[in-house]
Structure 1
Amino acid sequence: MATMRAARLNTTDRSFGVTDVPRPVPGRGQVLVRVRAAGVCLSDIHLIDGSLSPLHLEGDTVTLGHEVAGVVEELGPEVFDVGAGDRVALQAGEYDRRGRLLTRGVDYDGGWAEYALAAEETLVPIPDDLPFEQAAIIPDAVSTPWAAVTATGDVRPAEAVCVWGVGGLGAHAVQLLRMVGAAPIIAADPDEQARDRALDYGADVALDSTAPDFLTRVGQLTHGRGLDAAFDFAGVPVVREQAIQVLGEHGRLVLVGLTAKPLEVEDGTRFSYLRQQILGHYGSEPEHVTQLVDLVRAGRLEFSRSISGTFTLEEAPEAVEQLEKRIGSPVRLVLLP
C-alpha cells in the first residue's frame, strides 16, 4: 500500500504530529491532488488546543488544513471537467448527502499532507502565474473577509468602516475594503506591527484600540456620523462593546472573530432608534473564492505580501508554534509539502 506524510491531530487527546498514512484513492467524482501549498490558520491552532472541536468528524483523528492548492494527480470515476496536471485551489468545505456543511481539515481530512482528496465540484482552477502559496490562502484567509465585506456587511463606496484586529483575516479585509471604495477605512489594533501593516494594506488611519481617546478619534474621523460598518475580526468582547458605541444610523456590526462570550447591547433604545444591526458571519460561499481568483487573474488583487513565512510539512509543529505565539506578527504562514 502506498503511503504519504500527513500532519494529523487526535481530537481526543489533542496529540499532533507528522506521520505516515495510507495515500488516499479517489472515489466516484473525486480527484487526488498533489498538495503544493497549505495555509496555517488560527482555526487550526484552536483545533489543536481544544477550543474548537469538529462537529461531524468520523473517528477521532484528522489531517488538518483547509487552505489548500496543488496539482491534480489522479482522477476517480465520473470526473469530467478536470484533468491530470491542472492547477487548482480547493474550496474549504463541501456539503454532504444530508446537507451538512463539512469543513476540510476539520470534519474530514485536509491538506497538511502530500496528497489530498477533493470532490470535483470543490476544485477552483487557478492561473499559471499565481504562486501556489498565494492561491492556497484565498479560501478562508481572503474569501472569509471578502464575503464579510461584500455579502454580510454589504459595504458600499464612501461608507465609513472600521476593522478591529488586523491579523490574517483583518489585513485582507482592509485591502478588500479599499478595493470596494469604503472611506474612511479605520484599522484598530493594540499591536504596533499590525497597525503598520494596516496602513500598508490600505487603511486611511490605524489606531490603538486601547488608547483613552480611541472612541473620540473614530467620531472625529467619521465627522460625528459614526460608522456605517464595523468588523470584529478579533473575537473579543471589548471590541464589540466599542463598535456598538461608534455605529452610526443604520450601522452594521459584523462578527467574524469567534468567541463563546456573551454579547451585550448596553443601550437597547438607542440601538433600535438608530436601526442598527448585529450580523453573524462565518466563512464564505464557493462563488466568493471564484470571484477572488477572477480578480487576481484580472490584475486587481495580489497577495505576495501576505505570505509571512513558509515551512516544510515536517516543520508543521514549528509553524503552529510561531502562529500561536504570534512571532513576527504573521499574516499567513504556509506549509509547502
Structure 2
Amino acid sequence: MQVRSAQAVGIWGVGGVGAHAVRLARMMGATPIIAVDPLPNARARALAFGADIALDPSDPGFAEAVLRATDGLGLDYAFDFAGVPRVREQASPLLGNHGALVLVGITTEPLKISEKMTFNLKNKKVFGHYGSSFDHVYELIRLAGSGRLDLAPSITDHISLADAPEAIYRLENKIGDPIRLILVP
C-alpha cells in the first residue's frame, strides 16, 4: 500500500500525526488532499501544511463536498488518525473503487462497517497500521536531512525537561493548539 501521485486522499484528524500525513501526502503527489477535523485551528493548519481543502465532518454537506472534490470518484485512501468509530463509518462510504481505509488512530471500540454491498462491489479494503518500522524513521531522517521535509512548522514550542508534566498537560488539553512540544534538557 502506497499513496501515488494523482490519488485522492482524505485525512481524518489533523493533529500532530495527521498534520504530518498531509505534508507527506503532498510530497507523494496526492490530489486532492482533503483534511477533515472538527477543530477550526486544525483545519487551518492542514491548509497551511498543504491540504487542498479542509472540511468539518459535522457539516451537513460534507459527503457532497468530498465527492465534488474527487469529481464524483471518491477517495483512493481514507486515513483515520482520530481513532474514532464514527470517522470510520463516515470515511468508508466515501471510498471509490479499490479504495482503502487505513486505521492509524487507536480505539478500543470494535471496527464496524455498515455499508452493504457497495463495500464488496467496489473492492474496498481496510488496513490496520500501528507504529512504524526503522526503515520509515530512516526515510524521514533522510527527507529532513536533505531539506525535502521541513519539520520546523511542526514544532509548537521548546519546554524544559523539568516542565515535562506541563508539556503533557498542554498536549492532552490542546492548550495553544500544540503539534509537537520539544523537551530540552
* Equivalent residue number for residue 223 of structure 1: 71
Structure 1 gap ranges (5+): 1-152
TM-aligned CA deviation for residue 328 of structure 1 = 1.5
Task: Output one character per residue of 1:222-246: Cα deviation in whole Å (capped at 9) or x when no partner.
Answer: 1111000000000001110010010
The reply to whether residue 213 of structure 1 matches residue 69 of structure 2 is: no
Q: 2:30 aligns with which of 158, 182, 207?
A: 182
**Structure 2 counterpart of 1:231, one-letter code:** F
Contact kept? 2:88, 2:113, Cα under 8 Å? no
- 1:202: which partner in 2? 50
Alignment partners' CA distance in 1, 2:173 and 2:145: 34
1:297 Cα deviation after fit: 2.1
Matches within 5 A, 1:126-275: 153-275=1-123
CA distance in 2, matches of 1:300, 1:207: 27
Q: Where in structure 1 do 4 or more consecutive aligned residues deviate above 2 Å?
A: none
1:316 matched to 2:164: yes
Percent identity over the alignment is 54
Partner deviation per Cα, 1:267-318 (whole Å, 9 max, x = no partner):
2421111110010001111111111111122221111111111211110111
Structure 1 residue 187: Cα displacement:
0.2
Give the match for residue 47 of structure 1.
Answer: none
Residue 111 (structure 1) aligns with: none
Q: Aligned partners of 1:256, 1:268: CA distance in 2, in Å?
A: 24
Distance 2:158 2:73 in 1: 43
Q: Please say if 1:276 is aligned against 2:124.
A: yes
More strand by share: 1
- Give me the whole-angstrom Cα distance separating, in 1, the residues matched to 2:160 and 2:149: 26
Amino acid at match of 1:219: L
Contact 2:93-2:115 at 8 Å conserved across structures: no
Q: 2:155, 2:62 → 1: CA distance? A: 30
Structure 2 counterpart of 1:303, from 135, 138, 151? 151
Read off the aligned partner of 1:327 and give its amino acid letter: I
Aligned positions of 1:33-182 closer than 5 A: 153-182=1-30
Provide the rounded CA distance (Å) in 1 between the counterparts of 2:81 and 2:46.
13
Q: Give distance in 2, aligned partners of 1:173 and 1:267.
A: 26
Letter in 1 for 2:179: V
The number of residue pairs the alignment matches comes to: 185
Q: Who is 1:16 aligned against? A: none
Normalized against structure 2, the TM-score is what? 0.97
Secondary structure of 1:169's aligned partner: helix
Q: Which runs of 5+ in 2 are unaligned?
A: none
Structure showing greater radius of gyration is 1
